[in-house]
Amino acid sequence: MSTAVNSAGSMAVAVAPKGGRRFATVVSLALAVIAGLSALFLVQGVQNQIEDVRHSNDVRAQAQELTIALSEAESNQRGYLLTGDADYLEPYERAASSIDAQIDGLIAATQNDAAQRERVQSIVGQISIKMAEMARTVELYATQRQQQAQTLTDTGMGARLMEDVRRTLGQFIAEENENLLGRNEDMDGTRRWLVGAILAALAGAGILGVSLLGRTRQDISALASTQNALRMENETLELRVHERTQALQEATIHAERERERVEALLQDTNHRIGNSLATVSSLLGLQLMRSKSGEVRDALEAARGRVHAIASSHRRLRLGGDLETTDAQEFLTAVLDDLKSTATGADAVELVGEVEPIVINARDATTIGIVVGELVTNAYKHAFADGRSGRIVVKLFRGHGDWPTLVVFDDGRGVPETVEPGDGGLGSVIIKQLAQQFGGVPVYERRASGGLSVTVPLPNLEGAKRPVPSA
């Protein structure tokens, strides 16, 4: 650019008066400085955008890994409380000890952002409360105070704490995505302004050159030199922009790979949890065969069915592209297939699923799968206990108020008139407590044509929305 300035200055000396030569020199210098500063701001802005992308991905990765560690600790804690198997303690303690490292990583990733740092401190407080609750239940169970541990678990406080932690981490990640989107939009606006400034500077230089071009051949030669210099600078600028753009593309590819890695890790985690629970179900089956007490066998059979339903929910969970949602239709259809293949006396009973394609949060899908498992298992056990044939229908649709509603009904032998539907059994208690998480209360009704119908409204089911149709 200095060559262009010197040429323009020489041209002004040859053909212009003293005042005009000075004005032309000042204008040329100003245009050169504007173009140079605009180019520097543009390059720096691209670099800042790359750093923002990397920082956001680091924060998201740390938050996702923390979520996975918490889920692993909670699943092993629940496995220990449900079975009393000490083999769950080692993975529980390993997962619990890794949480501190994940928290340190998240704090380190947000140390330069006061707002993020304050939010992380709030999350750390919630996690500390949840970890204390899990450690307390494990301690009670390990010291032969199972009843106290069960009472603490039945309060649902642990589940609510875990839900709050998951929700807070999810909101944190979503806010980070929104912040990144806002920064990108600001950067786009700045880029357009800077490009306009460069174009204005170049246009001004062109107008100045044209006005001096007609005065003398010497001006023409100086203008040619100036144009050559500008062309070289433009080529250099284009090369730099190309290099920065390529770097941004590489960063984007890396971010996509990281997203795929996190998705694979989450899927593998759910599969591992499902396999672990399936192992627990098999162990309960072995114990069932060795038990001679009818009451104990019934309890073991019920526990085995519930563990199997939870295992099926984890194995069949398939996350969407955002790693946070799943399709209820695909998920519940797979869960019903599992229930059909493992239920006692299922050959004579037709199990039908009528599920709308509703997109729901993945963290809520397993809970809904457990509710469906309880309702279907109860129908197999009670409605068709005498070996009769029949039909069980599971429906998930948008009912009153456009919120999701779950209905399970059968045409079995029904409930005796002397018994109030939904009273007394552990399964009914489990269904009621899980439904309350979504703001619903189960409604049991005798069907006029025979059988029982259970309706569970889910008004507070988060993330429930209609899927976006593909183009």
pLDDT tens, position by position, 120-174: 878 888 888 878 877 888 887 778 787 877 777 777 776 777 777 777 777 777 7
Write out the two tokens for 353: 């699923």
pLDDT number for residue 13:
42
Neighbours of 389 (CB within 10 A): 12
Contacts of 325 (CB under 8 A, 6+ apart): 319, 359, 360, 361, 362, 463
pLDDT number for residue 199:
75
Q: Which residues pair with 203 in a beta bridge?
A: none
Q: Which domains does the chain have, with CATH numbers?
A: 2-261 (no CATH), 322-471 (3.30.565.10)
pLDDT number for residue 25:
66
Tell me, letter by letter, the H, E, C secondary structure of 378-419: HHHHHHCCCCCCEEEEEEEEECHHHCEEEEEEECCCCCCCCC
pLDDT number for residue 18:
55
Q: Report how far residue 322's alpha carbon sits from residue 313's, in angstroms, rounded to the nearest whole number.
A: 19
pLDDT number for residue 260:
65
* Among 74, 52, 68, 77, residue whose Cα is nearest residue 101: 68
pLDDT number for residue 315:
62
pLDDT digits (tens, 9 = 90+) for 186-207: 767 777 777 776 776 667 666 6
* Low-confidence residues of the chain: pLDDT under 70: 1-22, 24-25, 28-29, 32, 35, 39, 42-43, 45-46, 49-50, 53, 158, 180, 183, 187, 197, 200-202, 204-215, 255, 258-278, 280-290, 292-321, 344-346, 423-424, 462-471
C-beta separation of 171 from 363 below 8 A: no
Contacts of 157 (CB under 8 A, 6+ apart): 133
Write out the two tokens for 401: 């108020």
What is this structure's pTM? 0.42
pLDDT number for residue 211:
58
pLDDT number for residue 444:
92
